[in-house]
């Protein structure tokens, strides 16, 4: 994955700790951190970033295994496990000076997990972080529109402090970029901004995502916050449909 150093998240003691993640901003305000799914050798760096950036909600849009291929590590402990220091055991799990505990899991419609995690540096106060895991979004594809809408609502309802949302799939591009585009436009709508096709296109440009379909790639020459954030024409069309669907739901309430 190609990274943009200007927007890359830099941890304290950055020479030692490295994370493949970028700030994603709208109107000079950082709303998201988009990143790669944690790997075995980056789990500690990942949790350090979550603590340092005061992230309250992690949105996971990939599965650990997809089509017999490993997409990322299980970076949270199993519910009820105790001890250990590997991704497969541990509750709590000590990773050098960080403690991670899984205190609750809710499964919504057999597709969405809401995992309640306690995490903190050893000897310091722990913080609560929610991992919202959407399990049915295929790589390079699109999910069920209604279920995706529920994910958007859940993430924002859990993010009560309006902190940066950490969003990842496997590479941290296609599915991640689609969510960031949809969610940022919906935040504008909730703030009274008129939304139309032109506004969605303008936001895609302001997010500096790479829109990979022919009629756009000819006209958009983008410096990217995170390269390739929307990978297919289908994903962009899905983003547009999701925005329309969720706005319609709000109007009809």
Q: Which of 72, 169, 180, 210 is catalytic?
A: 169
- Please identify which residue in the block is written with the tokens 């096709």: 197
- Answer whether 188's CB lies under 8 Å from 199's CB: yes
Tell me whether residue 180 is one of the annotated catalytic residues.
Answer: no
Residues 72 and 66: their CA atoms lie apart, in Å, by 10
- What is the sign, positive or negative, of the torsion defined by CA atoms of 166, 168, 171, 172? negative
Q: Can you tell me the distance from the alpha carbon of 92 to that of 157, in angstroms, rounded to the nearest whole number? A: 26
Identify any residues that bridge with 108 across adjacent strands, giving them in sequence order: 112
Residue 187's contacts (CB-CB under 8 Å, 6 or more residues apart) are: 26, 31
Please state whether beta strands 57-60 and 127-134 pair in parallel, antiparallel, or not at all (unpaired): parallel
The residue behind tokens 């020459």 is 221
Q: Name the pairing type of β-strands 57-60 and 69-70.
A: unpaired
Q: What is the 3-state secondary structure (H, E, C) of 199-212?
A: HHHHHHHHCCCCEC
Contact 144/10 with Cβ under 8 angstroms?
A: no
User: Active-site residues: which are they?
Assistant: 169
């Amino acid at each position: 994955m190609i990274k943009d150093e200007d927007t890359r998240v830099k941890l304290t003691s950055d020479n030692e700790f490295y994370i493949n993640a970028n700030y994603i901003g709208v109107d000079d305000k950082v709303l998201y951190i988009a990143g790669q799914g944690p790997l075995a050798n980056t789990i500690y760096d990942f949790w350090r970033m979550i603590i340092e950036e005061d992230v309250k909600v992690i949105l996971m849009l990939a599965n650990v295994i997809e089509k017999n291929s490993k997409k990322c590590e299980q970076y949270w402990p199993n519910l009820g496990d105790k001890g250990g220091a590997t991704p497969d055991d541990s509750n709590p799990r000590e990773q050098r000076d960080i403690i991670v505990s899984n205190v609750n899991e809710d499964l919504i419609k057999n597709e969405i997990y809401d995992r309640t995690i306690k995490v903190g540096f050893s000897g310091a106060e722990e913080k609560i972080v929610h991992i919202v895991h959407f399990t049915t979004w295929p790589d390079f594809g699109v999910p069920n529109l209604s279920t995706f809408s529920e994910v958007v609502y859940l993430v924002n309802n859990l993010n009560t402090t309006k902190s940066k949302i950490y969003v990842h799939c496997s590479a941290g591009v296609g599915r991640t970029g689609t969510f960031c585009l949809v969610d940022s436009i919906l935040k504008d709508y909730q703030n009274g901004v008129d939304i139309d096709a032109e506004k969605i296109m303008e936001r895609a440009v302001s997010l500096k995502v790479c829109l990979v379909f022919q009629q756009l790639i000819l006209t958009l020459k983008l410096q990217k916050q995170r390269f390739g954030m929307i990978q297919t024409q289908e994903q962009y069309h899905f983003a547009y449909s999701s925005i329309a669907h969720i706005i319609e739901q709000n109007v009809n309430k």
